[in-house]
Amino acid sequence: MSNDTTADIDNTPNSEQPNDDAPALSKQNNLQQLKDISWQGIWKNNAATVQLLGLCPLLAVTATLINGLGLGIATTLVLIGSNCTVSAVRNLVPNEIRIPIFVMIIASFVTVIQLLMNAFTFELYQALGIFIPLIVTNCAIIGRAEAFASKNPVKFAAFDGLMMGLGFTLVLVILGAIREILGNGSLFKGANLLLGDWASQMEITLFTTDSAFLLAILPPGAFIGMGFIIAFKNLMNNRIEKLFAAAPTTKNIARVRVTAEK
């Protein structure tokens, strides 16, 4: 979980200002960029399964689906806020001291989220414990600030934060669901901690057992489950990419046939 990987994830869309002469073209260009950002954030460059950033909270809190969802939402909110702010000040920040400034921006957003969770979802706040303040150290966030937000306009940076956060949340939720089902036989346990009392009916009990598969709840289960998620992602890569990524790039290029077909 080092920041070194951030160098590889520079998927900066073309940051040239759109040409004023052709508003229609720039609109299409915008849309294309937003599409690309969401594709990168949710699948191609997923913070958890591809960049392997932020594994510490990912593995630690995903004993249940709701815990994962709670941390995922908190991380997403911090990511959007920090990406916007970093992007807004990107031309004012001297290059030499940009990292401390980014960290301070992130830390202030984490403090805001932490206080909000303390006020409105107190039990979840207690369940997640140290991992809320530790969002500051989540490499995925500083990674996006450095690799994307500091080079792109605010609207793209905000959208990138949202999409990266969604991708991260998705993995947290899936891993939490797998571990909760295997280890506890339930789903949405403790939904009332996040969503209020009405949500306590959401809990689904799939099976009850005297001897639960404790491994799934324990830390090794998180590693094994994460391994399976990454393996599944790699397995599906080709198919999904054909479905989504290929669609916009299939352009009919008329070529002059130079050789006869055999």
Partner 1 sequence: MTFKLSSSPHQHAQRSTSDLMRLVIFCTLPGLLVQTWLFGWGTLIHLVLAIVVAVVTEAAILELRKRNFEVAIKDSSAILTAVLLALSIPPLAPWWISVIGAFFAIAIVKQLYGGLGFNLFNPAMAAYVVLLISFPVQMTSWLPPESLTQYQANFADALSVIFTGFSNDGYSLQQLQLGIDGHTMATPLDQVKTNLTLGLTYNETLESPVFAGGLGVGWLWVNLAFLAGGIILLLQKAISWHIPVGMLGAIAIMALVFNGIDGDQYASPLFHLFSGGIMLGAFFIATDPVSAATTNQGRIVFGACVGFWIFIIRVFGGYPDAIAFAVIIMNMAVPLIDYYCRPRTYGHARSGK
Contacts with partner 1 by CB under 8 A lie at 211-215, 218, 220, 224
Closer residue to partner 1 (CB): 213 or 244:
213
Per-residue exposure over 124-151, b if at least 16 CB sit within 10 Å of its own CB, e if not: bbebbeebbebbbbbbbbbbbbbbbbbb
Closer residue to partner 1 (CB): 154 or 215:
215
Please answer whether residues 139 and 4 qualify as being in contact, where contact means their C-beta atoms are separated by less than 8 angstroms.
Answer: no
Distance from chain centroid for Cα 133: 18
Closer residue to partner 1 (CB): 100 or 227:
227
Q: How far is the CB of 228 from partner 1 (least distance, A)?
A: 9
Q: How far is the CB of 233 from partner 1 (least distance, A)?
A: 16
* Both structure tokens of 131: 């991992």
Q: How far is the CB of 248 from partner 1 (least distance, A)?
A: 34
State how far the Cα of 148 lies from the Cα of 154, in Å rounded to an integer: 10
Q: How far is the CB of 218 from partner 1 (least distance, A)?
A: 6
* Both structure tokens of 93: 């920040």
Closer residue to partner 1 (CB): 91 or 211:
211
